[in-house]
């Protein structure tokens, strides 16, 4: 993966997390262990 692909993936992940935050129904993130980076960001997007 080159630099441009990495940047594109970061923005795409952000868009997915934003869509999760905007869902009308409650969402739940279940974690088994420690979450860093994208995993933590996903958990924070869930309400």
Is 90 exceeded by the pLDDT of residue 47? no
Residue boundaries of the structural domains of the chain? 3-45
What integer pLDDT is reported at residue 4 of this predicted model?
A: 93
What integer pLDDT is reported at residue 39 of this predicted model?
A: 87
For residue range 4-44, list pLDDT tens digits in order: 999 999 899 899 999 999 999 999 989 898 888 888 888 88
d(CA 46, CA 33): 17
DSSP letter for each residue of 4-47: HHHHHHHHHHHHHHHHHHT-SS------SS---THHHHHHHH--
User: Directed axis angle between helix 38-45 and helix 3-21, to 10°?
Assistant: 20
What integer pLDDT is reported at residue 11 of this predicted model?
A: 92
């Amino acid at each position: 993966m080159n630099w441009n692909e990495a940047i594109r993936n970061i923005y795409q992940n952000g868009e997915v997390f934003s869509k999760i935050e905007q869902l009308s129904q409650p969402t739940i993130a279940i974690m088994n262990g420690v979450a860093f980076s994208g995993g933590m960001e996903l958990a924070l997007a869930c309400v």
